[in-house]
Amino acid sequence: MADFIIETPKGKWELVCGLEIHCQIVSKSKIFSGASTEFGDDANVNVSFIDAGMPGMLPVLNKECVRQAVKTGLGLNAVINKYSVFSRKNYFYADSPQGYQITQFEYPIVGEGKITVDLSDGTSKDIRIERMHIEQDAAKSIHDINPKKSYVDFNRCGVGLMEIVTKPDFRSPEEVGAFLKKLRSIVRYLGTCDGNMDEGSMRCDASISVRPLGSNELRERAEVKNVNSVKFAMQAVEYEAKRQVELYENGETLKQQTCRFNPATGETKFLRFKEFSDDYRYFPEPDLPPLVLDDAFIEEIRNNLVELPDAKKARFVKELGLTPYDASVLCENKETADFFEEAAKGRDAKKVANWIMGDFFAMLNAKKLPLEKSPISAEKLGRLVDLISKNVINGKTAKDVFAIMAETSQEPEAIVEEKGWKQVTDTSAIEAIVDEVLQSNPDNVAAYKGGKNNLLGWFVGQVMKQSKGTANPAIVNQLLKQKLG
């Protein structure tokens, strides 16, 4: 466990934190209507009568959203509940034209699971998932167009959401960050959520409390709502935990409350007290029957699951000999892992990993390019590594070749040729000379094979002479030994 102990002159405290994450489901249409889920369209163009809450409109469950939820549940190592129920959560707000949200309450589609997070000290920790349910997203309120008015964009209204709830297992901001990154990585691998926190398709609420180190009590908590980046979530948790410690040490108490995180100041800001739990008057949604899944549906999804980051990481360590650290960096997103695998195919995986994590990542960073826009393809990077392995160029020259590739996207071989950077270690060229020398000196070949081993030096001399001194002696030696038996 990574240590995060809040120590003051008065005592030592620990963090107790749980997360709720809303992930927008990747699907063409909304969870209960046929309207498009496209992000970034003009306001209020993707709104059906169902999304607008028109009287008499009946929701129809989108099967694709169910499939995505089951896939995600399997990716969270969780129990899939074959029986789940939709409920109405009643509340009145401008972002919900129905006057209620269709969600799942007592019977969620996904039960308990876990995600393993890797921490900077080399340890791992399991974070338990309590449940995951599916529900409709609300519309988006816009407060910054007009100082006196608020606007509402209903395009988001009715988009499918997966709400993942963890147990209060987090003891450090680092664990919170590692979890969010791992969850994002899993849903992106699965293709069930695009994980873009800055676009709001993955939003995090954190329930934060503190307690004296060593105690098991659970104190009142503050909930920080709708944090939209991994970094902000870590900052919010740290700030809020320290604020609570200060409060307790000043003899005050914390009343259960809701806060907002201000990215500009790095501080949490009080919104409202939660003295009574909200009364949403949940009841089973009368317009939708219980959702019943059969084994065949679940098994078909399970059997077609992609290889997830943990499994891929384990394989890179076991089969390709990478260190766990290198493997986890390369597996963080699927595109990088695929790029690495293509570049490493049939090659020294460690060497390829070093190139990718070193010069290659640095080049993308410097150019501010995403991997898919890389001027150097996986295949060309692999061939550059080949040129080093085959002694065509040395490591130092390879860096120069790489720099040119990054600018021109040229083939590594062409660059070496054009620049005349080839070491005179072209094995096939040397081999031709070796063959010629052996063929024109059959007597000495016979003598060598008869036991005159010291003739090897003479053969080397002949080959060097023929190549006008440009052949690599080590390769000449090696080829001669091979051919003379």
- How far is it, in rounded angstroms, from Cα 417 to Cα 392? 10
Q: Is 137 in the site for Mn ion (CB under 5 A)?
A: no
Least CB distance to Mn ion at residue 104 (A): 10
Report the residue number, 163 or 240, with the smaller CB distance to Mn ion: 163
- In the shown chain, the binding pattern of residues 420 to 459 toward Mn ion, with x for contact by CB under 5 A and - for none, equals ----------------------------------------
Q: Which of 404, 406, 408 is nearest to 416 (CA)?
A: 404
51 or 163: whose CB is closer to Mn ion? 163
Shortest approach of Mn ion to residue 133 CB, angstroms?
8
Token pair for 119: 């921490």
Alpha-carbon distance of 213 to 469, in angstroms, equals: 74
The CB-of-205 to Mn ion minimum distance in angstroms stands at: 9
**Cβ nearer to Mn ion, comparing 138 with 392:** 138
Q: Which residue is nearest to Mn ion (CB)?
A: 163
User: Are 268 and 240 in contact, with CB atoms under 8 Å apart?
Assistant: yes
Shortest reach from residue 137's CB to Mn ion, in Å: 9
Rounded Cα gap, residues 201 and 452, in angstroms: 77
CA-to-CA distance for 111 and 103, rounded, in angstroms? 15
- Which C-beta is closer to Mn ion: that of 53 or that of 324? 53
* Cα 413–chain centre separation: 34
Nearest distance from C-beta of residue 108 to Mn ion, angstroms: 11
Instruction: Give the footprint of Mn ion on residues 148-207 (CB under 5 A).
Output: 163
Helix segments in 332-454, DSSP class H: 334-344, 349-355, 361-367, 378-389, 395-408, 412-419, 427-439, 442-449
Q: Least separation, in Å, of the C-beta of 369 and Mn ion?
A: 36
Helices and strands (H, E) in the chain, number of each type:
16, 16
What would you measure as the largest C-alpha separation in the chain, in angstroms? 103
At 309, which helix (H) or strand (E)? helix 309-320
In sequence order, what are the residues at sequence separation of 6 or more whose Cβ sits closer than 8 angstroms to the Cβ of residue 131?
108, 110, 111, 112, 164, 165
Q: Choose between 163 and 169: whose C-beta lies nearer to Mn ion.
A: 163
Helices (DSSP H) in 53-194: which residue ranges?
Answer: 63-75, 173-190
Q: How far is the CB of 135 from Mn ion (least distance, A)?
A: 5
Shortest CB 162 distance to Mn ion, Å: 9
**Smaller CB separation from Mn ion, 165 or 456:** 165
Question: Total residues contacting Mn ion (rule CB under 5 A)?
Answer: 1
| C-beta closer to Mn ion: residue 3 or 278 | 278
Which C-beta is closer to Mn ion: that of 26 or that of 161?
Answer: 161
Tokens 């180190």 belong to 213
For the window 49-88, what string marks contact with Mn ion as x by the rule CB under 5 A?
A: ----------------------------------------
CB 259 within 8 A of CB 240: yes
Binding mask 277-296 for Mn ion (x = CB under 5 A): --------------------
The CA-CA-CA angle for residues 22, 314, 339, to 5°, reads: 75
- Output the smallest distance, CB 159 to Mn ion, in A: 12
Q: Which is nearer to Mn ion, 184 or 203 (CB)?
A: 203
Footprint on this chain of Mn ion (rule: CB under 5 A): 163
